[in-house]
Structure 1
Amino acid sequence: MRKIALVTIYSVPNFGSVLQAFATQTLLENLGFECRIIDYDRNNPWYFAHGNGRPKLKSVIAQALGLKAKHRKEKKLERFRRTFLHLTRKYKSLDELRAEKWDGYDAFVVGSDQVWNPRFSYGDSVYLLSFAPEGKPKISLASSFAQKELPAEYVEKFRRCLSGFTSVSVRENYGKEIIQRQLRLPADVQILLDPTLMLSKEDWLKAIPRSKFRKSEKYILLYMLDYAFRPQPYIFDVAAHFQKSLGYRIYVLDGEISGEYRKILDCKDVIDSSIPEFIDYFSNADLVLTSSFHGTAFALNFGRPLVSVVPSDGDDRQTSLLNGLGLSMLAAKVGTDIKEISCEYDCAVEQRRLRELRTQAVDWVRKIFLEL
């Protein structure tokens, strides 16, 4: 069996990051490959020197004890990683990766998610596969820059590294524009679905064990991330609007509700959920309200009513996906008149279009990898 080494971001305390790693691994294994995710430890001197903070003892202890909901969630995510992800031994630096003998591997893959976002990776060439041995195929699978333009200081490094790739695919339109316009590479850049969408809703419900969650009421699922842009307080106003109009309780899967909104919104905190609970909450939601790409992706995969709150500019991750499905009306730019927001769509049409895009994406991946 041919063997693939996968570089991705999977160790952050984020449901989407873990699930995209699992989806990519599953996709490659379904094609008949043995896939190993490189266990690259970003808590290293290189990252500390480039701006990443060192883990604080207080946080490490709180995490170990599970003092807060976010700590308990991270412990559950770590349990999932160790159970379901097929990891290599741990590597703590680029030098360690370069010193490794990779003779048993047939190809090296990077993706998906924000592996090329310099805001978080600082241009780390591990995510540009600079350690891969000469002559081994290097492939980008739905990688994301998560921005409209690459900062000038990274252009030459990206141009040099990506010029040695066998095949390049990205997740968003901006990514293709960066490679062809800014990096001036002649590569045939393919825009692909995120790997979480290359698995169908049936695939997800089969692959992930069911949780103990049993639906007893209609609910709005709030999945708010604010590391890429600031959706609050706007997203809370949207939540209040739909709670009033629908009469549903709000299940908070991520995002701290603060200030006056604690008094206004009728919420249930489910932040310390596991991966199986994440899947079950999404698959049963009566409305998903999210500022997250993967929140948007899972709502669409399960065909749930959706409001995807997006920034006014600079990040097309959610809008690129929605536009590709003909659902631009589900994107609510921060500041949009709430009365103009739509959450309903023709699920049958959306699911048919998603199946078409999924087939195209999987066919491209199959063609690229079976030619190795």
Structure 2
Amino acid sequence: MKVGILTFHRTTNYGAVLQTYALQKTILDLGYDVKVIDYNNEEIYSYCDYRVLYGKLPLKTRVGKIIRYSHNKKIAKTFNKFRNKWIDLSVECNTNAQLQSVEDGYDAIICGSDQVWNPLAIHFDFDAFLLSGVKGKRISYAASAGNITLWEKYLKKYWICLHRFDSISVRESEMIQPVENLSEKKVRLVLDPTLLLNKKEWEKLEEPLGNEIEKDNYILVYYLGKNRALTDTVKKLQKQTGLPVVLLGRQIEGIKSISVPAGPSQFLSLFHHAKFVITSSFHGTVFSILYHKPFLVFGNGNYNSRMNTLLSALKLQSRMIDNESANLERINKVVDWGQVDSLHKALKEKSINFLIEALR
């Protein structure tokens, strides 16, 4: 049986690329012939592409690309290296017609994970990411809307397409009821694909850190959006511990830090060898848990549902900070990792069972 995966894999987003690899490996381990469909929608990927003239972009965005060109090109190179080494891609397709032609060669198409049902993230390419042209089995795995309220203007489209799915699973608990109402099908809550692999499996993909970073002796900050409480907490933790700060993502004003052009393999190493992790990212949360790190998670606007769902399921709610600067005792509080691993194992089994049943 041939299985195709449709997701966000061409971006320079760590979580997107790592979840793509994880879902592919999980399905391969189940014994299926699987490829990631190389759907290259210019509108979706133009913002993260380092090329200044690629795609239809506002002038302000192009100017920003010029300023960051050298850095962005280095990052893109590391992501391309990872994809070429670890992800098995189909032939490239650029239009919906080409996509449908490629999809016809598979017995089942899995859409997910990541925000493949977020209208803004997919640039309203509903036909592609709601599998309108698929003739084989239609399956969603850990599909996310980012924020379910974004669906309000497009309910008819979702209603029509979701009815055609054979099996549906989502990543956030708040999506279950709306999707069941629209599809009139049972919807399962499953883990993000990155949580289907264990620490040892991720370690195999790691690459060494630069000489400027001392292993197990730094604070890793993976920062998305804007959060004053997060930056205040980083400053407090740096002052208390005297440890250097290694930054992934947004820069923090007033903090002396080390920034590295990390690709996915270096991203994994950075989490593996961090002394502490402070993040506002879902996948930052995931890898803090997988690598058993002392960590705190800060809210990220309207996109907190996925963090809350995961932390609640693993009884780690105390690690989530809303808007206040954190009491540093919270990051030093000992975690019962045995309990966390036990809860994770049960959820992982349910998630893999969903895939087994959907593909059977």
- Same-fold status (TM-score > 0.5): yes
Distance 2:220 2:206 in 1: 20
| Amino acid in structure 2 at the alignment position of 1:194 | D
Find the residue that maps to 1:190 and give its secondary structure.
Answer: strand
Counterpart in the other structure of 2:326: 338
| Amino acid in structure 1 at the alignment position of 2:284 | G
Counterpart in the other structure of 1:324: 313
Counterpart in the other structure of 1:254: 249
Distance 2:263 2:45 in 1: 31
Matched, 1:210 2:222: no
> After superposition, where does 1:194-343 map in structure 2 within 5 Å?
194-206=192-204, 208-212=205-209, 215-216=214-215, 218-226=217-225, 230-231=226-227, 233-258=228-253, 261=254, 265-270=255-260, 272-311=261-300, 313=302, 315-333=304-322, 335-339=323-327, 342-343=330-331
Find the residue that maps to 2:76 and give its secondary structure.
Answer: helix
> After superposition, where does 1:32-47 map in structure 2 within 5 Å?
32-43=31-42
Distance 2:282 2:56 in 1: 23
Checking the alignment, whether the CA contact within 8 Å between 2:109 and 2:137 is kept in structure 1 is yes
Of 51, 57, 75, the residue aligned with 1:73 is 75
How high is the sequence identity, in percent, across the aligned residues?
A: 28
Gaps of 5+ in 2: 48-54
TM-score by length of 2: 0.88
Give the number of aligned pairs.
347
Counterpart in the other structure of 2:117: 116
> After superposition, where does 1:7-22 map in structure 2 within 5 Å?
7-22=6-21
Counterparts in 2 of 1:152 and 1:341: CA distance versus 1, 3 Å: farther
Checking the alignment, whether the CA contact within 8 Å between 1:241 and 1:338 is kept in structure 2 is no
Find the residue that maps to 1:143 and give its secondary structure.
Answer: coil
Counterparts in 2 of 1:10 and 1:306: CA distance versus 1, 3 Å: same
Distance 2:165 2:246 in 1: 43
Find the residue that maps to 1:119 and give its secondary structure.
Answer: coil
Distance 1:172 1:37 in 2: 23
Checking the alignment, whether the CA contact within 8 Å between 2:37 and 2:92 is kept in structure 1 is yes
Checking the alignment, whether the CA contact within 8 Å between 1:110 and 1:129 is kept in structure 2 is yes
Checking the alignment, whether the CA contact within 8 Å between 1:310 and 1:331 is kept in structure 2 is yes
| Amino acid in structure 2 at the alignment position of 1:120 | A
Deviation at 1:74, TM superposition (A): 1.8
Q: Deviations over 1:349-370 (max 9, x none)?
A: 212221222122122222322x
Checking the alignment, whether the CA contact within 8 Å between 2:216 and 2:274 is kept in structure 1 is no
Counterparts in 2 of 1:147 and 1:28: CA distance versus 1, 3 Å: same
Checking the alignment, whether the CA contact within 8 Å between 1:332 and 1:341 is kept in structure 2 is no
Find the residue that maps to 1:80 and give its secondary structure.
Answer: helix
| Amino acid in structure 1 at the alignment position of 2:324 | T
TM-score by length of 1: 0.85
Matched, 1:142 2:142: yes
Distance 1:101 1:198 in 2: 27
Deviation at 1:312, TM superposition (A): 5.9
Checking the alignment, whether the CA contact within 8 Å between 2:103 and 2:109 is kept in structure 1 is no
Counterpart in the other structure of 2:159: 159
Counterparts in 2 of 1:287 and 1:87: CA distance versus 1, 3 Å: same
